[in-house]
Copies of this chain bind each other. A is one copy, B any other.
Amino acid sequence: MSEIKQLTKKILDFRDARDWKQFHNPKDVALSLVLEATEVMEHFQWKNNKEIDEYLKTAKGDVAEELADVFYWVLLMSSDLKIDIKLALEEKLKKNEIKYPVEKAKGRHTKYNRL
């Protein structure tokens, strides 16, 4: 079984053991995705780049845990909506290859802003 399928299976086994699928409608799952993403972001608030580097020396584990929560909801939503997230990412990268051709986008902040 592929790595992403294995991780997804662990998430679904965790959920099924608790009978929580009944609560997981797509809208509330999307709210979780947003709420966990903001918890990642909160770690970096009120800090400049140098302070963030310093902060990560001791807090990387906490950030990793919040980022894992985002990943959790990405995989759970993918499973519930029957989205092949690996394929979806590969297709998005292909689209972006066309949208941001190397010769135009290289080192360009302006172009980059619209990614």
Contact = CB atoms under 8 A, between A and B. Distances in A.
Interface string A42-70: 11111101001000100010011101111
Q: Interface SS of chain A: helix, strand, loop or mixed? A: helix
B105 A18 contact: yes
Contact of A37 (B34, B86, B97): B34
Interface residues of A, number: 74
A41 B74 CA distance: 12
Interface of A: 2-4, 7, 10-11, 14, 17-20, 22-23, 25-28, 30-38, 40-47, 49, 52, 56, 60, 63-65, 67-72, 74, 77-78, 81-86, 88-93, 95-97, 100, 102, 105-109, 112-113
